[in-house]
Structure 1
Amino acid sequence: MSFEIKSAGFDDYLRKNGDGLTIDERKKVNKVGAKIYENAMQTFLDHHRSDRVYQNGTEHLADTLTHEITTGGKYEIGFSKKGKKAYIARLLNDGFDVRNQFGGPYKHVAPEDWNNFIANIGKENDARMGREMSRKAQEIINNKMHSNDTGS
């Protein structure tokens, strides 16, 4: 999952307001929006946490949520390799076809709360992420303009 400002509206906003953003500034803007998504994802995972105690130090899916900022300025949120739980998130998000040694047919399993939860969390928080990212970009642009006005 990657979060980067891509909408034409925001690009127009940057063109109208001058300088645009450097990679470091883009990282700051993307981080603001991605943090909102990451917090919403963590809340969702914690809300759906089971009481099950895993053997051999295995972590719960909610404990493996992680993030990384790429060199291009994208803020990526996912599940750690160490936790070995990303496949479970994918199964819950996409649903799965049950199979066993007898074949089937069995119905497609897609837990209602989990069905497409990765995209749904993004949609639910899209407006808030956009507002905060725009606010952060405006703050950065204002600081640039202020430093140019003062001759710094």
Structure 2
Amino acid sequence: MPDGIIGNNFDKFLEKADRGFTLGERKKVNKVGDKVYEKAMQSFLDAHRRHVVYKDGTQHLADTLTHEIKEDGHYEIGFSKKGKKAYIARFLNDGWRPRNQFGGPYGIADPAEWNDFIARIGQQNDAKMGKAMARRAKKIMDEKAGGH
């Protein structure tokens, strides 16, 4: 498999490789990559889970991971609205500068293992996602060529 397929935007590859890909086929290919990323993200969140029982049944960040397929065929992974934890993921990902009651800083709260974790997990799994997506795309193309 050429590295260019994995290193470049996979949707652009699909458009160039076979303009006959249907939206349903594109969704199937994207879903394979989504599952790789989602599994890696869930593993990261579970590894950093605190054993805290929240009041009123509030969910832990790791329990609010969700995905959604968009009309154009791409998947989005995020945190559910119901869980109300997306802002915490953003704080952990970006770091933040807490202030005391007088407006003075305490210093940056930036746990190193959480720094830019959303992009980092994607980068760490890019090749794995690309290979899985390329295999699925090849299977679809083979089925089309073979008339299955």
The corresponding residue for 1:141 is: 141
For 1:108 and 1:81, locate their aligned partners in 2 and report how far apart those are by CA, in whole Å: 27
Q: 1:89 to 1:10 in 2, by over 3 A?
A: closer
Q: Secondary structure at the match of 1:56?
A: helix
Q: Does 1:122 align with 2:125?
A: no
More helix by share: 2
Query: Which runs of 5 or more residues in structure 1 are unaligned?
Result: none
Query: Which runs of 5 or more residues in structure 2 are unaligned?
Result: 1-5
The corresponding residue for 2:105 is: 105
- Listed as ranges, the matches of 1:43-58 within 5 Å are 43-58=43-58
For 1:25 and 1:99, locate their aligned partners in 2 and report how far apart those are by CA, in whole Å: 50
Q: What TM-score do you get using the length of structure 1 for normalisation?
A: 0.86
The corresponding residue for 1:32 is: 32
Deviation at 1:6, TM superposition (A): 9.2
Report the identity percentage: 59
Query: Quick one: which amino acid aligns to residue 15 of structure 1?
Result: K
- Listed as ranges, the matches of 1:76-95 within 5 Å are 76-95=76-95
- Please report the RMSD computed on the Cα atoms of aligned residues, expressed in angstroms: 2.1
Corresponding pairs, count: 143
The corresponding residue for 1:15 is: 16
For 1:73 and 1:9, locate their aligned partners in 2 and report how far apart those are by CA, in whole Å: 12
Query: Quick one: which amino acid aligns to residue 26 of structure 2?
Result: R
Q: 1:36 to 1:98 in 2, by over 3 A?
A: same
For 1:20 and 1:61, locate their aligned partners in 2 and report how far apart those are by CA, in whole Å: 40
Deviation at 1:75, TM superposition (A): 0.6
